[in-house]
Chains A and B, each alone.
Chain A
Amino acid sequence: MTSAPFPTGPINAVSGTAIAVRGDDIDTDRIIPARFLKCVTFSELGPAAFADDRAELNGHHPFDQSAHRGARLLVVNRNFGCGSSREHAPQALMRWGIRAVIGESFAEIFFGNCLALGIPCLSVDHDTALAVQAAIEADPALELSADLETLELRGAQGPSWPLTLAAGPRQMLRSGQWDATGQLLANGAALTATAARLPYLQGFAAA
């Protein structure tokens, strides 16, 4: 599969060729069918991305087209990643080679799971999604860059489209603090104080 390293550190831009998967409400069962969840590591998931959709399309799925091999940006439509909370879905996409997802909207758990891996999910409006998908399909070699600083999606020459990303996740990605564990552990005293004020952790002791 991909030899590109997984995301680390600050993420200010994701550049490379792109791949379009069209359709609304593409759920995580489609991104990675449940039978591939029988594993205790994520390492083998890359080749299984969209396995059943690909089988149904008999080699015509974008993930099976050699022209799109090595794509780093995935361009989708509405409510992408809905359904199951399985992190196996973004893990499969990441291990296939995807480093940013651009779409009309994302299911929340999927968005958060991607963020935790350093994969930005950037929003565009309906017309932009269709235009970018058409551009990619017309020219699979098209190099695009999703810039988290300027919030633009740019082609090498010519087109540029506006991107949307909420301030919080954007700052987390740009500062390299998208992996929350360290931040959460830094607040030990505040954690203890919070636990101490929760009645159910004090056995509902009399005040």
Chain B
Amino acid sequence: MSSGTLYDKVWDLHQVAELPGGSTQLFIGLHLIHEVTSPQAFAALKDLGLQVARPERTVATVDHIVPTTSQARPFADPLAEQMLATLEANCAEHGITLHGLGSGRQGIVHVIAPELGLTQPGMTVACGDSHTSTHGAFGAIAFGIGTSQVRDVLASQSLAMGKLRVRRIWVEGQLQSGVYAKDLVLHVIRVLGVKGGVGYAYEFAGPAIDALSMEERMTLCNMAIEGGARCGYVNPDQTTFDYLQGRPFAPAGDAWPRAVAWWRSLASGPEAVFDDEVRFDAGAIAPTVTWGITPGQGIGVDETVPTLEQTEPDERPLAQEAYRYMDLVPGAAIAGTPVDVCFIGSCTNGRLSDLQAAAQVAKGRRVAPGIKAFVVPGSEQVAAAAVAAGLDQVFTEAGFEWREPGCSMCLAMNPDRLEGRQISASSSNRNFKGRQGSANGRTLLMSPAMVAAAAVTGQVTDVRTLLP
């Protein structure tokens, strides 16, 4: 059993009680909500005659259903309008802060909480969304929950949880130029599998992780859940503190040095014991692209789609389903696969550094004929910073559409979606069947720079060939 890890320390601090069923009651430091998974929770609260226990510890935004062309109210889609109106009413009734459209702070929930300084080391963070693992980048224990649990957190600021085991993912070396945190995490999931992390929290550590920026760490932890790990985290260090200092909800003044001292004390020490450890070499990782229907079905951009013989026997039925669905040929190179739609955005890769990496590729080039390419910033703050840096111009001059912030075609609950059997190059996190809004639409996951490379060439292309 693990001991002395950040996970153990934060878990112990937040432990309220042992529950009769054998699970632990865990205090939740920060609760984030959005329009899709909260309305039924508020309704259940009302049915039970309960109040929100600590409204100041819950923060709301709207992201999944917002259109990215015009955000004028009421939305054209009456269901989307109803969902936002319901969120607004619930927040007003219960005294919960809502960072709404046009506030300057709206955006994808996993983008805004870090950039506002709400997410901090040592917190427990819960949200009715599986990519809550993103917040682990700060050394928080952050995990996705279902709507019944959203109700429980609203009612009690706590949850019934079972403790996870801790696996350290140790990454040596440095990522090569043109290889990003997205490639690293797609590679980890490729090796350990989409079920490999079930029952574990993933601690990402080692020289390659130390060298990552906060935004890169967020990309990494964001996809821990795609590897089956309900939470992933990075120990807080100077990079973390530098990112947080001065943000609206970060500690300030005399509190700042005390906060930093406490945060430092939480990191896994040399005496920490892990349940498991797996090692990777960052230098050996190539830009990675998925070819199938789970995020674990990934390959280097210089590789070929695995044949059935190259696939583990128990993975073969899934591989066959993926061949059928994706219509890619086993044994064929993934590079050169034509694409129809290119999407840059999402809570995985919708931050400023992601847009910068994509813009570096797009600059001075043109989107290939017949390709629809669009950029959706992760938040209003990201959008403002990108505009200030002239990135919107770089993209529009290259023929990309520049949109308003939201989840967009990551899950296509708004009007942005694939049509029919279209195939996308996407910087999002899930290539599940039907994920991007068409029941037979197809998704190739890759880094934002790789999406930009696909956009300007019209096909899957090794971005390293386009970089200076």
- Interface residue ranges, A against B (CB under 8 Å): 23-25, 27, 29-30, 33-35, 37-42, 52-53, 55-56, 78-79, 82-88, 90, 105, 107-109, 112-113, 116-117, 166-169, 171-172, 175, 177-181, 183-185, 187, 190-191, 194-195, 197-201, 203-206
Contact = CB atoms under 8 A, between A and B. Distances in A.
A83 B430 contact: yes
A52 B433 CA distance: 9
Contacts of B80: 38
Contact of B434 (A33, A168, A175): A33
Interface in B49-68: 50, 53, 64-65
Nearest to B21: A172
A31 B62 CA distance: 24
Contacts of A34: 411-413, 435, 437
Interface in B259-276: 259, 262
Contacts of B157: 191, 195
Given A187-B16, A204-B259, 18 more contacts: A24-B318, A25-B318, A33-B434, A39-B83, A40-B39, A40-B86, A52-B439, A83-B430, A85-B128, A85-B129, A87-B40, A113-B148, A113-B149, A179-B148, A184-B160, A191-B27, A194-B13, A200-B120
A87 B130 contact: no
Contacts of B53: 191
Interface of B: 13-17, 19-23, 25, 27, 29, 36-37, 39-40, 43, 48, 50, 53, 64-65, 77, 79-80, 82-83, 86, 120, 122-123, 128-130, 132, 144-149, 151-152, 155-160, 162, 194-195, 198-199, 228, 230, 251, 254-256, 258-259, 262, 294, 314, 317-318, 321, 411-413, 430, 432-435, 437, 439-440
A183 B25 contact: yes
A84 B225 CA distance: 9
B228 A184 contact: no
A175 B1 CA distance: 29
A108 B255 contact: no
Among A34, A35, A82, A203, residue most surrounded by chain B Cβ atoms (within 10 Å): A34
Contact of A194 (B27, B77, B152): B27
Nearest to B38: A40
Contacts, number: 214
Given A168-B23, A181-B152, A187-B16, A40 B40 contact: yes
B426 to A, nearest CB: 14
Nearest to A186: B17
A42 B40 contact: yes
Contacts of A166: 162
B159 A184 contact: yes
B318 to A, nearest CB: 6
A190 B16 contact: yes
Contacts of A42: 40, 147
Contacts of B16: 187, 190-191, 194
A87 B152 contact: no
A183 B20 contact: yes
A178 to B, nearest CB: 8
Contact of B21 (A85, A177, A204): A177
A83 B146 contact: no
29 contacts: A24-B314, A24-B317, A25-B194, A33-B434, A34-B412, A34-B437, A38-B83, A39-B79, A40-B40, A40-B86, A42-B40, A56-B439, A79-B198, A84-B129, A84-B430, A85-B37, A85-B145, A87-B128, A87-B148, A108-B228, A166-B162, A171-B22, A172-B20, A180-B160, A181-B48, A184-B158, A198-B27, A198-B29, A200-B259
